[in-house]
Amino acid sequence: MKIIVLNGNPDNKNIKFDNYLTELANDLQKKNHGTKIFTLRDMNINHCVGCFGCWVKTPGECVFKDDSAEICRSVVNADFVFFSSPIMMGFTSALLKKANEKLLPIFHPYFEFINAETRHIKRYKKYPPIGLLLENNERTDKEDIFIISEIYRREAMNFKSSFSFTRFTSDPITELAHEISRI
């Protein structure tokens, strides 16, 4: 299985978070899964400016050349995508949100109605299931977790895929690797 990890940790001093992802990737690789971690803070990713160029000027690609093109290609070709971030101000980091916005080119600009909701039409035949890894802080509450999880569950709906789970960096790595392996 090809697994993509989007590391939205903005703080290079938070080595505990980064080490957790590295250990998880190592555990998954021992189980014969190809795992690639994108450390977003080390990448050149511009903000989406909402120009719709990825739909009309350069279909499927952002008109602004940055590292998001590599992320989009990897996500579309993955078997599982893992969004990961410390919780900051009640949500995921700005880095992870920015990378998430830059996934827009992988969808068509056209819409369809599904279960009384408007959804993008697929650009590709398959999209990977997604999962969410969060690092709690002392101010995190159940409502924060619910809101974050619900937004990523709805993102999976745009992916025409599934939302697999929300997990935490306090969870044992072997347990999480096992759960990912079963997807």
Host H or E run for residue 147: helix 142-158
In sequence order, what DSSP letters do the residues of 78-114 get, joined into one string?
A: -SEEEEEEE-BTTB--HHHHHHHHTTGGGEEEEEEEE
Give CA–CA dist 152/158, Å, rounded: 10
In this predicted structure, what is the pLDDT of residue 159?
85
Sign of CA dihedral 111, 60, 47, 80: positive
Residue identified by tokens 């890894």 is 133
Domains of the chain: residue spans and CATH: 2-181 (3.40.50.360)
pLDDT at 28: 96
For the chain (183 residues), the mean pLDDT of every run of 10, in chain order, is 97 96 96 97 95 91 94 96 96 96 91 87 92 92 95 90 96 94 90
- Element (DSSP H or E) covering residue 34: strand 34-39
Helix (H) or strand (E) holding 119: strand 117-122
Q: φ, ψ for residue 69 (rounded to 5)? A: -60, -40
